[in-house]
Chain A
Amino acid sequence: MTSTADTGRARASFATDALSLTGRHVRLMSRRPSSMISALVLPLVFAGLFLAVLGRPMERTGVDYVQYLVPAVVIQAMFFTAISASIWAAEDASGGMIDRLRSMPISRMSPVFGLLGGELTRAVASIAVLIGAGYLVGFRFEHGPLWAVVFALIALGWAAAGCLAYLVLGFAIAKVETVQVVGGLIYYPLLLVSNLFVPARAFPDWLRPIVENQPFSRIADALRAVSTDTTADPAGTTLLAVGWTLAVIALFAALAPRAFGRTP
């Protein structure tokens, strides 16, 4: 047998392994209609709904609601991406895939980065669709193209942080239904008790400090400051958003090996 000659070639390589697994994930997502809909159609549906329900009352209070809404639906789409990551992680962990990958001579964390890479590819598509649709209804990058790039990078950074957190959740729980429930319990309060869809001043006084300071509002502040010409300081809010993003990434990067290694 030629066994030793052949298996001798197998060497863990982080880049090759993560790239192969990213390719796998992108291909799988592209073949699952529900995945494509939640990436490309659902964010647009929400954008349309919020615009229809809140557009007129918000305009009356002096808010340019299209400018206000695009950052919010971008953040919501990044949340959808994270939820998708957690479901794929739970599927891989509850089936036999993760066991096989972990018994193979590949880079240890590459399955996690494969899912992350695939989801970030999906996030780029979501952002492009939302900004494209936003442009059709009057959204503009009022600070010019450089800040538009910053806008995309902040959104992608936040998608990476969210995906990493939800991947940890998915691998640790390893049951699709439970992951969906827990993921939803995190998603709804963070999304709605924020300044994403209405300004913080719409909330009762006692709730306002939470609304203003929770990370999703801070990311929204930054996305609005770099896209819309207001009194907000683009550089300062961006730094704060980057700080939050790095903090979440650091926390869940520390937890990831544990969650991944623990998979039954």
Chain B
Amino acid sequence: MSVVEVEGLRKSFGEVEALRGLSLAAHEGEILGVLGPNGAGKTTMISIVTTLVRADEGTVRVDGIDVRTDPAAVRTRIGLTGQFAALDDNLTARENLTLFGRLLKLGRAGARERAAELLAEFDLLDAADRRAGTFSGGMRRRLDLAASLIGRPRVLFLDEPTTGLDPRSRNSLWAIVRRLRAEGTTIVLTTQYLAEAEELADRIVVIDHGEVIAEGTADDLKHRVTGAVCHVRVDEELMPRVEELLSSRWQVSRSAEGLVVPADGSGTLVEVVRLLDAHDILVEDLGLRRPTLDDAFLALTGQATGS
């Protein structure tokens, strides 16, 4: 059953078309990864689904309820962790959570109890009575996430939850997201990091320029790119020159490991070696491999992701 159904969503801001007929669905109990580069329309989509912004066209249903006709009912079923932490720096962690509990009508005692529960669950008990402004980036994210879970939402929307986090905090947040799914929460997560989508999402929707350009599991998407790729690594100083050289013959992209060109069997490998050798360029690493999700994303959008 689909808990979130988005159909034919359109939204323009002045001249800019942020969403151009976007459709997607998140099924009960899954983590849906919405992957796309900056400006793809991820945040606009989240804002519409969470009742913050009205769509120009299209329908959105959350738990079967139309966000346009009954936004108030939708709000009782969702939790939102946006890109900016929704916390008061001069309130303690406990005060922050208690405030949201009061607003969700848990009552004075109920709000306090729920806050204590979440502080324990998110490993924040030691810092419970410190002001949120003194927290590290990772702790702030955890507290912000805890705040969006006070009402035990059926669907949790996470808009780029790990942007700017160090690897350890990121891993601990990932563990929390997995635990929430195990407890039955449906999660819609936007990200510009392939590793994150691959790591967490049961299904991935790739969006670009306000449209869905691919959909499936990480494996499905990888299979979209057939054949192999040839990767080349040279000294950092030589990179621009090598990129230029290779660009004359192939469509080159940069990745974490260096430069990548689509390979047509081992012939491409030999040609790359010859070309670089003819220019006396010393290669640090070179080889053929199967495409990664990164390569799939590049092939689909024509641009690199944030990873």
Contact = CB atoms under 8 A, between A and B. Distances in A.
Contacts of B185: 1
Contacts of A17: 103
Contacts of A96: 82-87, 144
A28 B80 contact: no
Interface residues of B, number: 37
Contact of B151 (A6, A13, A16, A24): A6
B153 interface: yes
B23 to A, nearest CB: 22
A122 to B, nearest CB: 15
B72 interface: yes
Contacts of B104: 7, 9-10, 104-105
Interface stretch (B88-96, B256-264, B279-287): B88-96
A28 B91 contact: yes
A257 interface: no
B148 A3 contact: no
B95 A27 contact: yes
Contacts, number: 97
A184 B99 CA distance: 32
A104 B77 CA distance: 9
B181 interface: no
Interface in A1-60: 1-4, 6-13, 16-17, 20-21, 24, 27-28, 31-32
B217 interface: no
A7 B148 contact: no
Given A24-B91, A28-B88, A105-B75, A100 B106 contact: no
Contact of A95 (B75, B84, B100): B84
A24 B84 contact: no
B101 to A, nearest CB: 10
Contacts of B86: 95-97, 99-101
A103 B105 contact: no
Nearest to B107: A9
Contacts of A32: 90
B105 A104 contact: no
Contact of A105 (B76, B80, B152): B76
A10 B111 CA distance: 12
A106 interface: yes
A96 B172 CA distance: 22
Given A1-B183, A20-B102, A96-B84, A7 B152 contact: yes
A30 to B, nearest CB: 9
A17 to B, nearest CB: 6
Contacts of B77: 7
Interface of B: 47, 50-52, 72, 75-78, 80, 82-88, 90-91, 95, 99-100, 102-106, 144, 147-148, 151-154, 183-185
A9 B82 contact: no
Contacts of B99: 20, 24
A140 interface: no
A28 B103 contact: no
A208 interface: no
A32 B133 CA distance: 12
Contacts of A10: 76, 104-105, 151
Nearest to B50: A103
Given A24-B88, A28-B88, A28-B90, A6 B52 contact: no
A103 B78 contact: yes
B85 to A, nearest CB: 6
B180 to A, nearest CB: 11
A103 B183 contact: no
15 contacts: A1-B152, A3-B152, A8-B76, A10-B105, A11-B105, A16-B102, A20-B102, A24-B99, A32-B90, A96-B144, A99-B82, A100-B80, A100-B100, A101-B103, A104-B100
Nearest to A111: B103
B137 to A, nearest CB: 14
Contacts of B103: 17, 20-21, 101, 104, 106
A105 B72 contact: yes
A27 B100 CA distance: 15
Contacts of B148: 100
A137 to B, nearest CB: 35
Given A1-B183, A1-B184, A31-B90, A7 B84 contact: no
B154 A3 contact: yes
A60 B84 CA distance: 58
A102 B72 CA distance: 10
B152 A103 contact: no
A206 B286 CA distance: 83
A7 B95 contact: no
Nearest to B84: A96
Interface string A49-92: 00000000000000000000000000000000000000000000
B107 to A, nearest CB: 9
A99 B184 contact: no
